Structure 1
Amino acid sequence: MVTPVVPMNYWSSQTIMVTPVVQFMVTPVVPSPLKIPMKVEAMMQLDLFTYRKPATIHAFPLDRRRKLVGDAAEALNTKSYSQGKAHWTRLVSRLWKEMHASGLDTQMIEREIAAFGDAVSREINICQHYRGTDGAA
């Protein structure tokens, strides 16, 4: 049977008899400083204040936005002339503001609005042409 023996002074070196046959040597355990080779490099922070070329904006063409064209055509089809004109003015004004806020120039905005108007007009004509046949050709 082994009886545990605790030394009186942990940091001293002494021999402790646990059993008459087994001896243990207690030595102080002092952590040594780690000597890890470290590669020190100057870390660069991103320079947020350097001038960069402004981004080029490629807006998705208004006349290709099928949901927007379809909703505008449906709204204009269901409203009276004066209500439709007011709706169209509000819609064009909102689109103009959005595109101008995005950074598009005036000529590009005018081309986009004109193409959008043509697409809405085509959609209205298609709806009126196939109205009586419920879409069947």
Structure 2
Amino acid sequence: MCDSNISAFPLHRRRKLVEGIARVLESKNGEDANAFWRSTAKTILVQLSESGIAPGLAEREVGTLLHAVLGDIATRSTAKLAR
């Protein structure tokens, strides 16, 4: 199997996706949060793979998505503290 040149709209720029994942993660703690993220990441990796995205690129997309989600959580937490 060879790598593909297909690229998708960056996951970290999909605001509804980022915010949705962030809200769910904020409602969970510990292993529940870890399990949710692992399941979400696996589902997204499968979807990207089925769309023809190369495995390395798919993994980078999911990693960048995680950073965006964590950034969204941090921004929301900072805003709550500022109130």
Which TM-score band applies after superposition, normalised by the shorter structure? Answer: 0.7 to 0.9
Output the TM-score relative to the length of structure 1.
Answer: 0.54
Structure 2 CA distance for aligned equivalents of residues 110 and 90 of structure 1? 14
Letter in 1 for 2:8: A
Structure-2 residue corresponding to 1:63: 12
Question: What is the RMSD of the two structures over their aligned residues, measured on CA atoms?
Answer: 1.6
- Name the SS for the 2:80 alignment partner: coil
Tell me the equivalent position of 1:121: 70
Q: Which has the higher contact order (CA 8 A, sep 6+)?
A: 2
Runs in 1 of length 4+ with deviation above 3 angstroms? none
Which residue of structure 2 aligns with residue 85 of structure 1? 34
Question: Percent identity, aligned pairs only?
Answer: 30
Q: CA deviation at 1:106?
A: 1.1
What displacement does 1:128 show?
0.9
More helix by share: 2
Matches within 5 A, 1:8-47: none
User: How far apart, in 2, do the equivalents of 1:111 and 1:80 lie?
Assistant: 25
SS of aligned partner of 1:103: coil
Q: 1:130 aligns with which of 74, 79, 82?
A: 79
Unaligned runs of 5+ in 2: none
Counterparts of 1:90 and 1:63, CA distance in 2: 17
Structure with bigger gyration radius: 1
